[in-house]
Amino acid sequence: MNYLELADRLIGRGRRMGANETEVYIQHSRSLSVRVRNGDIETIQESDAGGVGFRVLVDGAMGFSHCNDFSDRSLSETLERAIAFARLTTPDKYNVFTDDMPHQEVAGLYDPEIAAVPMEKKIDMALEVEAHAMKDERITHSSGASFGERESEIIVANSNGMLKTWRSSACSVGVGVVAEKDSQRHTGWESSARRFFSDLESLETIGASAAKKAYEMLDPIMVKTQRAAVIFDPAVARSLIGGIIAAINGERVLQGASFLQDRMDEQFASGLLTLTDDGLREKGLGSKPFDGEGVPVQRRTLIEEGVLRAFIYNTYAAQRAGVESTGNASRAGFTSLPSIGTHNITLQPGRDSVQDILGNTKRGLLLKGVTGYGINPVNGNYSGGANGFWIEDGEVVHPVQGLTIAGSAATILPNIDMMADDIDLNLTLAAPTFRVREMQIGGA
């Protein structure tokens, strides 16, 4: 199906049906998921799917509808529903669709090879990564290994003359295992996701990492409730950074629901904290040429040495704030309205080595796993469940689990006192290891 032609036709149809402005968002995806366990296939799932989301404006009021049926009749009915809904909602002068702005292409977003690799090879990869993870004798069970791939084509068009498309691919391979000893059970999971098939990490590395995460947690010892340093592993950085990103969401700021709403250009965090968002990184899993409304994405510094430098906006929130969209409209597919999100977030690395940080920690928690909601973007509160390793006199002494950690943005972020140099830029939230000088830890 020629989606560009279809989108163009639907824009015209929207106008004839009574919409002042129409936006058409089409997504078509093909995906494959293979899951194996104990050396044999557990599930194979394949899909080829797509749909259309319509956003229309009638006298400044907005309606949205979506369907996954491309028949002419269904498309017209769905469009009509959006127009009917627009007659119901409140007119708002900030409801506008974006102009057609030129964007630059981003290299390395689509790999035709993924689809060309035979199914048997993908099954074999899942089997192999599982075999690597099961090698260690402390590993007693497999939770399963998988290979997944997805290709997606997105079209954004609107009645301001915009008609854009981009295509992407991604694939991943991962495995989960269980380490057992007496009545103890610990799980470990590792995966590698990339835009290009040939960039996937070695299956041996992935398998060994999953196994290590499981067995290294054996024989945890509880510690007492106390205040001590907490060292955040890169895998748990989201627990702190996620709340900051939510708090600089331009819409949340406008609603007065952000702990950072009044802090622009102020120092609110440690000078070691510099946070960037780069939508244009080559082969980045969060990269894209334009956002969910067709606005070109950017490379931006959000926090510079602890000073708040930017909020992030889609078109609506930007209009309301009296600024330009920052290219941060995000959509969870054709069924969703544009919200606000980031692309490839990087917490810039520092100069310390991980060993420096451990060595300089008299007593503390090396945090490997965290549960809970992270920093609450409304008021900055922080509380989570925690596991990892206990550190005494610069050395890891034993695993810990079932702990809690807590604080607030105001007490945690200014107290980041060491930033390591280990960073994996393949992640959409890339961060090095860093240390918070002191946090409340709940234990026995």
Partner 1 sequence: MDKTDFSGGSIPRRRFLELGLKSGIAVAVTPPLLTHMVSCGGHAAGLGRGLDADKECLDRVIAKALENGGEFADVYIEHRHSRQIIMEESAFRSGLYGISQGAGVRVISGDKTGYAYTEEITEENLMRAAQIASYVARNGKMVDPVPVKTVNRKSFVTVKMPLDVIADSERIEIMERANQAALDYDQRIRMAKIDYNDQVRSRVIANSEGLYIRDELPLLFFITEVMSDDGRNRHMARERISEHSGFELFEKDTPESVAERAAREAIAMLEAEDAPAGTMDVVMENGFGGVLIHEAVGHPLEADNIARGIGAFTGKMGKKVATDVFTMVDDGTIPNYRGTINFDDEGTQAQRNVLIEKGVLKGYMTDILSAKQLDLTRTGNGRRESFRHFPIPRMTNTFIEPGKDTPEDILADTPSGIYVQSLSGGSVNPVTGIFNFTCREAYLIENGRKTTPVKGATLVGSCMGVISNIDAVANDLAFGPGICCKGQMAEVTAGQPTVRIRGMNVGGSRS
Name the token pair of 189: 């999971």
Scanning residues 86 to 105, which ones bind partner 1 (CB under 8 A)?
86, 88-90, 92
Q: Provide the minimum distance between the beta carbon of 440 and partner 1 in the complex, in angstroms, as a whole number.
A: 5
Which region among 64-72, 153-161, 196-204, 391-399 touches partner 1 (by CB under 8 A)? 64-72
Choose which of 263, 373, 398, 426 interacts with partner 1 (CB under 8 A): 373
The Cα 168–Cα 104 span in angstroms is 15
Which region among 286-294, 297-305, 332-340, 426-434 touches partner 1 (by CB under 8 A)? 332-340
Q: Say how far residue 231 (Cα) sits from the centre of its chain.
A: 22
Choose which of 242, 333, 394, 414 interacts with partner 1 (CB under 8 A): 333
Scanning residues 175 to 214, which ones bind partner 1 (CB under 8 A)?
176, 178, 185-187, 189, 191
CB-nearer residue toward partner 1: 84 or 163: 84
Query: What's the burial of 40, exposed, middle or buried (CB within 10 Å: 0-12/13-18/19+)?
Result: exposed
CB-nearer residue toward partner 1: 411 or 426: 411
Q: Provide the minimum distance between the beta carbon of 442 and partner 1 in the complex, in angstroms, as a whole number.
A: 4
The Cα 102–Cα 93 span in angstroms is 25
CB-nearer residue toward partner 1: 92 or 356: 92
Pairing of strands 226-232, 184-194: unpaired
Check binding of 174 to partner 1 (CB under 8 A).
yes
CB-nearer residue toward partner 1: 163 or 193: 193
To which H or E segment does residue 146 belong?
strand 139-158
Q: Provide the minimum distance between the beta carbon of 38 and partner 1 in the complex, in angstroms, as a whole number.
A: 8
Check binding of 355 to partner 1 (CB under 8 A).
no
The Cα 359–Cα 332 span in angstroms is 43
Check binding of 14 to partner 1 (CB under 8 A).
no
Check binding of 240 to partner 1 (CB under 8 A).
no
Check binding of 82 to partner 1 (CB under 8 A).
yes
Residue 113's φ and ψ, nearest 5 degrees, are -70, -30
CB-nearer residue toward partner 1: 156 or 217: 217
CB-nearer residue toward partner 1: 39 or 359: 39
CB-nearer residue toward partner 1: 19 or 280: 19
Q: Say how far residue 275 (Cα) sits from the centre of its chain.
A: 15
Name the token pair of 275: 């946070």
The Cα 350–Cα 422 span in angstroms is 9
The Cα 129–Cα 204 span in angstroms is 6
Number of residues that bind partner 1 (CB under 8 A): 85
Check binding of 121 to partner 1 (CB under 8 A).
no
CB-nearer residue toward partner 1: 208 or 257: 257
Check binding of 78 to partner 1 (CB under 8 A).
yes
CB-nearer residue toward partner 1: 42 or 304: 42
Check binding of 60 to partner 1 (CB under 8 A).
no
33 neighbors 146 (Cβ within 8 angstroms): yes
Scanning residues 147 to 166, which ones bind partner 1 (CB under 8 A)?
none
Scanning residues 402 to 421, which ones bind partner 1 (CB under 8 A)?
402-408, 411
Q: Provide the minimum distance between the beta carbon of 91 and partner 1 in the complex, in angstroms, as a whole number.
A: 9
Q: Provide the minimum distance between the beta carbon of 441 and partner 1 in the complex, in angstroms, as a whole number.
A: 7
Scanning residues 254 to 313, which ones bind partner 1 (CB under 8 A)?
255-257, 259
Rg (C-alpha) for the chain, rounded Å, is 24
Q: How many CA atoms lie within 13 A of 313 on its CB side?
A: 19
CA dihedral 203, 347, 423, 399 (to 10 degrees): -80
Name the token pair of 37: 């366990």
The Cα 392–Cα 231 span in angstroms is 13
Q: Provide the minimum distance between the beta carbon of 299 and partner 1 in the complex, in angstroms, as a whole number.
A: 27
Which residue matches tokens 């708002």? 92
Name the token pair of 437: 């000088």
The Cα 31–Cα 114 span in angstroms is 11
Q: Provide the minimum distance between the beta carbon of 99 and partner 1 in the complex, in angstroms, as a whole number.
A: 22
393 neighbors 326 (Cβ within 8 angstroms): no
